[in-house]
């Protein structure tokens, strides 16, 4: 009886070892698909893509993603057109402008579907009229902060010609310029807003409070890529929406990732960034806003009235997200 039991356990262990070897070989043979994915700003609104990467969610869905920092919406759009990256987190204005110029770029997901910018001013400027004749900093002309600045000026009743708009790169550069007396105002997002307030500066206008539909930031891609490599696009979208879920439900890990990518050690500022975007701005189901796209078209139509006839559907492709959503994938994440 003992000999039989010994043979049984020996056989059982051998079978388990064999199964382990077979599984390991199968796993080794499964290669991750390599992708370059861009992001166009070091801002808290872009945190979902960083977190999807850092939490290993892309690999979970069979993708080996390398994130590339491509400063400014127009530059990021150019990278999509060239095929250097199949997806990038980019401003809506850049996608619309590129599409109108003849490209096949579209928004496949929306991250910030409203104005989530603040116009921050130095001490002594506390009213709209005081901004006239002053210098206001954005990152690049045509990028989302620039569009937001011009929208804000219109709301404040100021003609852009009455101030000087300067393109100075990233938010940290703009804040440094204000502290050095080279700017009187700039367009910021958390956590830079929090850091500016600590320097005694003022939030002259929080555009998010206006409740305007505006496609500020989302995921851009090309119709060509979506058609030719649809399954890759589906896996990317599954990973991305799961990354948003992780972002919303894992604050400590997400805060650490935001601090890492933005290179900020201010715990209060990074925490404020998380609370603002994760809890208030970024949707669970990141559909682009057609009203937000329409607002971009109307803005472009100021110079070319014929553009008003163009449908906002031209600038989006939600078939990938809808397929993921219709499968129940997103709903299951939040149960």
Over residues 244-292, the pLDDT tens digits come to 999 999 999 999 999 999 888 888 989 999 998 998 899 999 999 999 9
Where residue 233 falls (left for φ over 0; alpha for ψ -120 to 50; beta otherwise) is alpha
Helices (H), ranges, the chain: 2-29, 47-54, 57-60, 73-82, 92-100, 144-156, 171-179, 192-198, 223-228, 230-249, 251-262, 267-276, 290-300, 319-326, 329-333
Identify the DSSP state of 86. Answer: S
Tens-place pLDDT, residues 99-153: 999 999 999 999 999 988 899 999 999 999 999 999 999 988 877 788 889 989 9
**pLDDT surpassing 60 at residue 174:** yes
Tell me what pLDDT residue 190 has.
85
- 169 pLDDT band, cuts 50/70/90, is confident
CATH pick for 118-210 out of 3.40.190.10, 3.40.1190.10, 3.30.1010.10, 3.30.1600.10: 3.40.190.10
Instruction: Tell whether the model's pLDDT for residue 22 goes beyond 50.
Output: no
Boundaries of every domain in the chain: 33-114+214-333, 118-210
297-326, pLDDT tens digit by residue? 988 888 889 998 999 999 999 999 999 999
Confidence of residue 13 (pLDDT cuts 50, 70, 90): very low
Alpha-carbon distance 89 to 109, whole Å? 9
User: One fold for both 33-114+214-333 and 118-210?
Assistant: yes
* Confidence (pTM): 0.79
C-beta separation of 151 from 118 below 8 A: no
The arrangement of secondary structure in 33-114+214-333, i.e. its CATH architecture, is 3-Layer(aba) Sandwich (3.40)
CA angle 256, 260, 265 (to 5 degrees): 80
């Amino acid at each position: 009886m003992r000999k039989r039991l010994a043979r049984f356990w020996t056989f059982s262990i051998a079978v388990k070892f064999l199964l382990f070897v077979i599984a390991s070989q199968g796993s080794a043979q499964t290669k991750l698909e390599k992708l370059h994915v861009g992001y166009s700003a070091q801002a808290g609104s872009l945190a979902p893509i960083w977190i999807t990467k850092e939490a290993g969610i892309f690999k979970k869905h069979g993708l080996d993603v390398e994130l590339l920092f491509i400063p400014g919406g127009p530059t990021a759009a150019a990278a999509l057109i060239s095929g250097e990256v199949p997806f990038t987190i980019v401003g809506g204005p850049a996608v619309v402008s590129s599409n109108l110029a003849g490209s096949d770029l579209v928004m496949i997901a929306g991250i910030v579907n409203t104005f989530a910018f603040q116009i921050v001013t130095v001490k002594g400027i506390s009213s709209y009229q005081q901004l006239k004749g002053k210098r206001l900093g954005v990152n690049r002309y045509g990028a989302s902060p620039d569009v937001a600045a011009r929208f804000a000026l219109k709301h404040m009743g100021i003609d852009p010609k009455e101030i000087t708009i300067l393109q100075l790169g990233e938010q940290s550069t703009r804040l440094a310029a204000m502290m050095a007396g080279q700017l009187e105002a700039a367009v910021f997002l958390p956590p830079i807003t929090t850091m500016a307030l600590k320097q005694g500066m003022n939030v002259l206008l929080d555009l998010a409070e206006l409740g305007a539909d505006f496609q500020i930031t989302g995921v851009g891609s090309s119709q060509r890529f979506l058609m030719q490599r649809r399954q890759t696009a589906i896996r990317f979208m599954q990973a991305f929406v799961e990354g948003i879920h992780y972002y919303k439900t894992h604050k400590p890990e997400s805060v650490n990732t935001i601090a890492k990518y933005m290179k900020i050690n201010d715990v209060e500022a990074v925490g404020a960034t998380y609370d603002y975007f994760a809890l208030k701005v970024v949707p669970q189901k990141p559909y682009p806003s057609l009203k937000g796209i329409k607002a971009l078209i109307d803005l472009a139509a100021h110079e070319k009235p014929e553009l008003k006839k163009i449908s906002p559907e031209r600038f989006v492709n939600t078939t990938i997200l809808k397929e993921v959503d219709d499968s129940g994938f997103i709903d299951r994440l939040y149960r």
